[in-house]
Amino acid sequence: MVGIVIVSHSKQLALGVQELAAQMVQGNIRLAVAAGIEDDDNPLGTDPIQVYEAIASVFSDDGVLVLMDLGSALMSAEMALEFLDEAQRQQVHLCEAPLVEGAIAAVVAAAAGRNIQQVIAEARGALTAKASQLGVVSGQLAVVETQSIASSEDQTHAEYPTKEIQLIVSNRLGLHARPAAQFVATAARFQAQIRVRNITRNTEFVRGDSINQVAILGVRQGHELAIAATGVDADEALAALQALFASNFGEDRTNFEPPSAVRQEITPETDGELSGIAASPGVAIAPIVRYQPPAITITEYHVEDPEAEWQRLQTAIHTAQQEIQTLFSQATIQIGDAEAAIFDAHLLFLEDPVLLEAARQRIWDFYLNAEAAWQAVVNEVANSYRTLEDSYLQERVDDVVDVGQRVLRLLVGNTHSELHLSQPAILVATDLTPSDTAGLDPSQVLGICTTLGSATSHSAIIARTLGIPAVLGVDAEVVLHLEDGTLMALDGESGKAWVEPEPDILNLLAAKREAWQNAQQQARATAHQLAITRDGRQVSVFANIGSISDVQVAVANGAEGVGLLRTEFLYLDRATAPTEEEQFTVYQAIAQVLERRPLIIRTLDIGGDKPLPYLKIGVREANPFLGWRGIRFCLDSPELFKTQLRAILRASAGHNIKVMLPMIATVSEVRAAKQILAEVKVQLRQAGIPFNEAIAVGIMVEVPAAVAVAERLAAEVDFFSIGTNDLSQYVMASDRTNPRVATLVDGLHPAVLRMVQQTIQAAQTAGIWVGLCGELAADPLATAILVGLGLNELSVNPQAIPMLKVAIAQLSLAEAEAIAASALQQDSATDVRALVQQSRS
């Protein structure tokens, strides 16, 4: 028989419901109560241990139904599930049905021998009879938020027929966070109501504009989906979604392969050895520092003004969105656009209409404070992920918790916990959120050891991108009680860690680390050679960097110079703009590491995806990528611009420094910037401050207008550097950070490649050199095309330099030119990739 548990803040209320229910079936039920707390002064409340004990007392293989009254009763029930083993947890169902009517309906069904699903259905329908007697139309009931929203949408689109298509998911991880975000964003563009279900898993239809509902469908590679659209633009909506599937959500079409098996033992198990999950390769030996972000404690209470409380929650959500946008900008510089896209899903979580409506309803219906309402809906979503059978999708709960905690922190007024290390260390923690991990400095955090996590979590992916060795899932009883400064060693390849390792273990690990370093050194040794094709064409290979530490990595990897120094990092995480002296110190330090190698410094490029609140850009722009950014902002802020130019010029004395202007669209912008540069030169001469009088000035070619007048611009500058990240989005009229259209942004599209060709031809005619510093330069499929188009220089992230040089050395210029000529004649980026793949076979 199905067991039933009643959870309530009031013990008297719960006992009354228990008595009433028992009378309905003459006591022939398995029913337990978990209500109130042992506090004579304040007996109202709930206790997770009580709930666990109540569940255990009525547990059977037939299942247990748990009914709660409100607020923390739900949280206590959710916490109680954690005390059950996995098999038991699957048999326990938390139900949103009304407490009194639901309990009566449920016990009657249970006593009649119904199964758990039938009992749940009876409990959920318990208000039907009352509604009918009161003359309430069933569609007006809002027992479940998603049902009420759906019914109103059904009425809105009632006059339109429903169109449906069926599609196969081909991308390797299915609809994980990023493609799910693209699906939802695409669906949200249309007026039509979009619903989707997983045919393979036989799920029900869910709303297509809810990232959480789409994600918890558990869609993996090969699953078949049914997508239904109802509304005036249903056909257009389905066509857009079909195109999204056809483009594979912008991902490659390889099958998903879990992290490869690694050697699990490098020594017999010894004292102090801990086994965990191999999440990021490499060996680290260092003292530990424990990281524990401050706990967020919330109190549930009754509010008198739900409108004010709802506004308070909306304000916190808006602030969280701004924080995540800043984090996205920083992560783009630190780990690249691809991994930074993780935070696109974080932003969409905060826009999820189902989640927001659920939070609003709790505030208005139960007069709950914002913290309690928000925590409740976040917990519901997190539990939805936890109950999925797919382990990869289960791990997305980390992102849900990360975003949820960010909003809670803002609501309760907690400051963000910053990690400050006095010396390089191994970080020990219960877990790290994606936000935590993206902010780590690999020169200070030598390794990561956590008690939770998995190799496919977003935090692990970011750790691998940063090159930080990581072992996850180790014994919490051991590592969480260690003192800061305790020596630890970890091997991210084998998934093992050692606390105060014995000398023989240290020797083995040190030898392994040395062998790995030797292998890397051998690869870097060839990277220090010039990149020359088989028939003698040399291509300079530079590095894109965003910090002082980056330049050291770049030189070690064979960079022949820096093709792009993103100066925005100097302006982030501070309340005021950096001074001239601060900038001069950094530029000079980077130039000294490079010795006489070229250092191309891009002047401040803010706006669009890199806003800086303290610079007072003003009213938020509807489309910041087409707005007041880059050189436009600097020309309108001459003192800020002059400060940076003075620092660059001062650092140029005795160094090979060049100035590069971003976001150039017109000849007049270049001339205006050169005029300000000339004024700064006069000031420095008058002050007797040395600088390079012949400092080279170049521009970023990243706006189609610049390509169109490239021959005029070439007469004004010493070099071009093509920024394909922005150029691609402007050519395709698609915001590369907007998942709704990001799949259109592709540097290998023939339209973009023709822009690159046109720019190179203008530069060659004018006798200036031209480079390319967008992410396209690091794409192995693009190397032959870019060399064949005639670029003089490619600038990439430091880690990509060795392989890029190898790729160039394997080419002949004649072959590259033939591939480039064919690529320009293709119809799509897909065709270009197929062409290059065919040329390799």
CA distances from 410 to 295, 320, 325, 435 (A): 13, 8, 16, 15
Q: Are residues 660 and 795 in the same domain?
A: yes
Phi, psi for residue 599 in degrees, rounded to 5: -130, 110
pLDDT of residue 674: 97
CA angle 219, 220, 221 (to 5 degrees): 135
Rounded to an integer, what distance in angstroms lies between the CA atom of residue 197 and that of residue 185? 17
What is the pairing mode between strands 445-450 and 425-429?
parallel
Phi, psi of 673 (to 5 degrees): -65, -40
Q: Is residue 756 part of a domain?
A: yes
Q: What is the pLDDT of residue 742?
A: 55
The verdict on 712 and 805 lying in the same domain is: yes
Whether the per-residue pLDDT at 299 is higher than 50: the answer is yes
374 vs 411: CA distance, rounded Å: 10
Q: What is the largest CA-CA distance in the chain?
A: 101
Report strand pairing: 496-499 vs 273-275.
antiparallel
Residue 646: per-residue pLDDT:
97
CA separation for the pair 461, 468 (Å, rounded): 10
Same domain, 81 and 114: yes
Q: What confidence score (pLDDT) does residue 109 get?
A: 72
pLDDT above 60 for 168: yes
pLDDT at residue 441 above 70? yes
pLDDT at 418: 65
Q: For residue 141, what pLDDT is reported? A: 29
Dihedral of CA 583/585/589/595: which sign?
Answer: positive
Q: What is the pLDDT of residue 132?
A: 41
pLDDT-derived band at 435, boundaries 50, 70, 90: confident
Amino acid at 655: H
In a domain, 152, yes or no: no
- Look at residue 832 in the predicted model and tell me its pLDDT: 93
Do 501 and 560 belong to one domain? Answer: no
Q: Would you give the DSSP letter of residue 44?
A: -
Amino acid making up residue 709: V
Mean per-residue pLDDT, 314-340: 76
H-helix or E-strand spanning residue 370: helix 370-386
Which helix (H) or strand (E) covers residue 794, if one does?
strand 793-796
Range of the domain at 228: 158-250
> Is residue 148 domain-resident?
no
Cα 521 to Cα 527: distance, rounded to the nearest angstrom: 9
pLDDT band at 43; cut points 50, 70, 90: confident
pLDDT of residue 648: 98
Burial annotation 97-106 (CB, 10 A radius, 16+ → b, else e)? bbbbbbbbbb
Indicate whether this model's pTM tops 0.75: no
Secondary structure letter of residue 534 according to DSSP: T
CATH of the domain at 122: 3.40.50.510
Residues 335 and 452 in one domain: no
Which of 110-114, 233-237, 568-572, 667-671 is the most confident on average? 667-671
Backbone angles phi, psi at 659, to 5 degrees: -105, 135
- pLDDT tier for residue 265 given thresholds of 50, 70 and 90: very low
In contact, 76 and 7? CB cutoff 8 Å: yes
- Give the pLDDT of residue 218: 79
Sign of CA dihedral 218, 401, 89, 51: negative
Q: What is the pLDDT of residue 688?
A: 97
What are phi and psi for residue 310, nearest 5 degrees?
Answer: -65, -40
Q: Is residue 258 part of a domain?
A: no
Query: Is the Cβ–Cβ distance between 62 and 52 less than 8 Å?
Result: no
Separation CA 519–CA 541 (nearest Å): 21
- Residue 731 and residue 713 in one domain: yes
The confidence score (pLDDT) of residue 105 equals 75
Angle between helices 397-412 and 370-386 (to 10 degrees): 170
Report the chain's mean pLDDT, rounded to a whole number: 83
> Domain with 485 in it: what CATH number?
3.50.30.10
In sequence order, what are the beta bridge partners of 540?
Answer: 793
Using DSSP's 3-state secondary structure scheme, residue 137 falls into coil
Question: What distance in Å separates the CA atoms of residue 329 and residue 326, rounded to the nearest whole number?
Answer: 5
Q: Give the pLDDT confidence score for residue 510 in this predicted structure.
A: 87
Distance CA(628)–CA(454), nearest Å, equals 42
* Confidence category of residue 97, pLDDT binned at 50, 70, 90: confident
What pLDDT score was predicted for residue 352?
A: 83
Confidence grade of residue 256 (pLDDT, cut at 50, 70, 90): very low
408 and 424: one domain? Answer: no
Which residue's entry shows tokens 């009088």? 693
**Which pLDDT value is given to residue 147?**
41
Across the chain, how many H-helices and E-strands are there? 35, 24
| Strand order through the sheet with 470-472 | 273-275, 496-499, 487-491, 283-290, 425-429, 445-450, 470-472, 277-280
Instruction: Please give the average per-residue pLDDT across 9-22, as a whole number.
Output: 82
d(CA 502, CA 494): 18
In a domain, 301, yes or no: no
CB neighbours of residue 694 within 10 Å:
7
Per-residue model confidence (pLDDT) at position 79: 81
- Provide the pLDDT for residue 88: 87
Highest mean pLDDT among 37-51, 318-332, 348-362: 348-362
340 and 201 inside one domain: no
Residue 316 neighbours by CB under 8 Å, 6+ apart: 370, 374, 407, 410, 411
For residue 713, CA distances in Å to 660, 693, 709, 718 come to 13, 21, 6, 10
Q: Give pLDDT, residue 124.
A: 77
Q: How many domains does the chain have?
A: 5
- Mean pLDDT within 824-831: 92
Confidence of residue 541 (pLDDT cuts 50, 70, 90): very high
When pLDDT is averaged across residues 305-330 and rounded to a whole number, the result is 87
**Beta strands per DSSP E along 540-640:** 540-545, 562-566, 599-602
Average pLDDT over residues 24-33: 72
For position 694, what pLDDT does the model report?
95
Task: Judge contact between 344 and 321, C-beta under 8 A.
Answer: no
Residue 507 and residue 368 share a domain: no
Long-range Cβ pairs for the range 609-614 (8 Å, 24+): 609/325, 609/328, 609/329, 609/332, 609/737, 610/329, 610/568, 611/325, 611/326, 611/329, 612/568, 612/571, 612/572, 613/322, 614/574, 614/575, 614/576, 614/577
Instruction: Judge whether 798 and 543 are in contact, CB under 8 Å.
Output: yes
Q: Do 207 and 213 contact (CB within 8 A), yes or no?
A: yes
Taken as a whole, the chain contains a residue count of 841
H-helix segments, 157-272: 177-188, 211-215, 234-246
Per the DSSP assignment, residues forming a β-bridge with 795 are 542
Identify the DSSP state of 422: S
Q: How far is CA 570 from CA 368, 644, 662, 700, in A?
A: 43, 11, 16, 20
pLDDT over 70, % of the chain: 82
Give the integer Cα–Cα distance in Å for 579 and 589. 16
Q: Are residues 407 and 428 in the same domain?
A: no
**pLDDT value of position 753:** 97
State whether residue 13 is helix, strand or coil: helix
The answer to whether residue 208 sits within a structural domain is yes
**With 90 as the cut, is the pLDDT of residue 20 above it?**
no
User: Between 394 and 838, where is the model more confident?
Assistant: 838
Range ranked top by mean pLDDT from 62-66, 95-99, 297-301, 451-455: 62-66
Catalytic residues: 458, 773
367 and 440, same domain (yes or no)? no
Q: Is the pLDDT confidence value at 608 over 80? A: no
Across residues 726-733, what is the average pLDDT? 90
For 627-653, the pLDDT digits (tens) are: 888 899 999 999 999 999 999 999 999
Q: Where are the beta strands (DSSP E) in 237-330?
A: 273-275, 277-280, 283-290
- Chain mean position to CA 793: 31
Based on the fold, state whether residues 603 and 700 are members of the same structural domain: yes
Residue 156 gets the label, from left (phi > 0), alpha (psi -120 to 50) or beta, of alpha
| β 224-230/277-280 pair status | unpaired
Residue 337's pLDDT is what? 56
Assigned domain for 456 exists: yes
Average pLDDT over residues 763-789: 92
The domain boundary, picked from 347, 378, 412, lies at 412
pLDDT band at 270 (very low <50, low <70, confident <90, very high): low
SS3 195: strand
Tens digit of pLDDT for each residue in 176-218? 656 776 787 788 788 899 999 999 888 889 888 776 678 778 7
Nearest CA to 259 out of 395, 157, 129 is that of 395
Read off the pLDDT band of 515 (50, 70, 90): confident
Q: Please check whether residue 736 lies inside any domain of the structure.
A: yes
Greatest mean pLDDT among 328-342, 627-641, 672-686 lies in 672-686
Q: What is the CATH number of the domain that holds 390?
A: 1.10.274.10
Could you tell me where the beta strands, DSSP code E, fall in 146-199?
A: 162-168, 193-198
